[in-house]
């Protein structure tokens, strides 16, 4: 009898033994606990992520999207505006074409000097001769600062834009609608729209080639609406919060827990790109995503029906022994590390090149700062969500 319960504290600490048993027994499992399908096999997960004829990113296609959620979407400012990660073609094709122009490899690589500078500033602020909370002092602020600058928001405006983004997303990001959330979201939407309308010259002068300017040009030529521009900026600006910060934290935890791999990286800096991808495979920060079945199909001999919700466990798929030899070992010399943490197909993560650059620069600086990355006693606290995986607190000792 297989068992899956992602709500237990033990699962948050280490889900992989339970997921391995589930994957070996049923890579596609009908779960009584989450009342949906759970997919843990690599091949099956890849199919869910890339086959747009049978799987959708849009939760509106699911039977489990109840009337309360639908009503909240209609009542919430920007609640009905397509979100890139939750929309299918043709809207996805139109929106993705715009932002692809803003995330070219040339534009991302041009940020390297500034990324190095930001990393250096944060590390220089570490307290001397005492443990440092790596998440609070580095992993969380680092990607946020870089992403907002890449978007093209001047540093004095960072706080305001993040506050508007958080307020606008609040009504649709919690199970229970907080009192006054819609009013706060509406006020934030109006303030954000006014900012974009009144600041185009200032934004252009701050950084001529930026995401904001690309999006505003698309609004001017009719490719996007102003509401779509705002939602896209919010989506990109908040992306630095969870997955990227957790990727940095998971890498620190993996290196501290595997000192021989840390030494191999110090001896051979050419392994730095492997660090990011092996971390994403070994302990994926995007642990769990949901897809909706668009048409009836058989998957691993299980009959999935139109409207079913499918929980794709990326962390389990990335440790499938049918795909990765010795999958539970953190190995920077692993030759084929093509994982699913950035997604697959048309929804492949837009920010993957930036995330890889952030990870490489961060650990070049961190390994130079620390003689050895070592965890402080009782230095790790895990978050309590099963959708993302990473430390909420991670204390490193100076060595």
39, 113, 324, 338, 339 from 27: Cα distances, Å: 6, 44, 15, 19, 17
And the tokens for 138? 């580095």
Q: What is the mean pLDDT of residues 3-16?
A: 86
Please confirm whether the linkage preceding 90 is cis (ω < 30° from 0).
yes
Beta strands 132-133 and 391-397 are antiparallel
Q: Pinpoint the alpha helices (H) of 36-180.
A: 42-50, 67-75, 91-102, 105-110, 112-124, 134, 141-151, 158-169
Judged against a pLDDT cut of 70, whether residue 224 lies above it is answered with yes
Q: Which residue from 261, 292, 276, 312 is spatially nearest to 46, judged by alpha carbons?
A: 312
Q: What is the pLDDT of residue 371?
A: 86
pLDDT by residue (tens digit) across 39-97?
Answer: 999 999 999 999 999 999 876 655 555 445 545 454 554 544 556 666 778 887 888 88
Domains of the chain: 9-372+383-397 (1.10.630.10)
- 326 sits in the region (left: phi over 0; alpha: psi -120 to 50; else beta) called left
pLDDT in tens, 101-115: 878 888 889 889 999
Rounded to two decimals, what is the model's pTM? 0.87
Question: Is the pLDDT at 18 greater than 80, yes or no?
Answer: yes
Strand partners for 397: 374
């Amino acid at each position: 009898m297989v068992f899956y319960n992602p709500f237990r504290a033990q699962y948050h600490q280490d889900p992989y033994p339970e997921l391995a048993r589930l994957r070996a027994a049923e890579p596609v499992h009908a779960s009584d606990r989450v009342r949906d399908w759970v997919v843990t096999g690599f091949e099956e997960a890849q199919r869910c992520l890339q086959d747009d004829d049978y799987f959708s990113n849009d939760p509106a296609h699911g039977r489990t999207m109840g009337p309360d959620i639908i009503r909240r979407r209609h009542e919430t400012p920007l609640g009905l505006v397509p979100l890139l990660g939750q929309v299918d073609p043709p809207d996805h094709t139109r929106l993705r074409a715009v932002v692809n122009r803003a995330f070219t490899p040339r534009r991302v690589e041009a940020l390297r000097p500034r990324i190095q500078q930001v990393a250096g500033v944060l590390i220089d602020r570490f307290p001397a001769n005492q443990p440092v909370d790596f998440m609070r002092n580095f992993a969380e602020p680092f990607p946020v600062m870089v992403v907002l600058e890449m978007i093209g928001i001047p540093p004095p405006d960072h706080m305001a834009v993040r506050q508007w983004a958080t307020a606008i997303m609040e009504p649709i990001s919690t199970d229970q609608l907080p009192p006054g959330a819609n009013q706060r979201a509406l006020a934030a939407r109006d303030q954000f729209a006014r900012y974009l309308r009144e600041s185009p010259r200032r934004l252009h002068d701050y950084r001529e080639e930026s995401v904001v300017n690309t999006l505003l040009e698309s609004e001017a030529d009719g490719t996007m609406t102003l509401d779509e521009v705002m939602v896209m900026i919010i989506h990109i600006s908040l992306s630095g919060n969870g997955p990227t910060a957790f990727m940095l934290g998971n890498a620190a935890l993996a290196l501290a827990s595997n000192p021989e791999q840390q030494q191999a990286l110090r001896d051979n800096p050419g392994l730095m790109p492997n660090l990011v991808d092996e971390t994403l495979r070994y302990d994926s920060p995007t642990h769990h995503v949901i897809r909706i079945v668009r048409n009836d199909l058989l998957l691993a001999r299980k009959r999935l029906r139109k409207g079913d919700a499918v929980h794709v466990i990326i962390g389990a798929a990335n440790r499938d022994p049918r795909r990765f030899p010795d999958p539970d070992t953190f190995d920077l010399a692993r030759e084929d590390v093509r994982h699913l943490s950035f997604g697959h197909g048309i929804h492949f993560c837009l920010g993957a090149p930036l995330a890889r650059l952030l990870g490489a620069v961060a650990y070049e600086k961190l390994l130079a700062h620390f003689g050895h990355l070592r965890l402080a006693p009782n230095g790790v606290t895990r978050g309590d969500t099963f959708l993302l995986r990473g430390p909420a607190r991670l204390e490193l000792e100076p060595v």
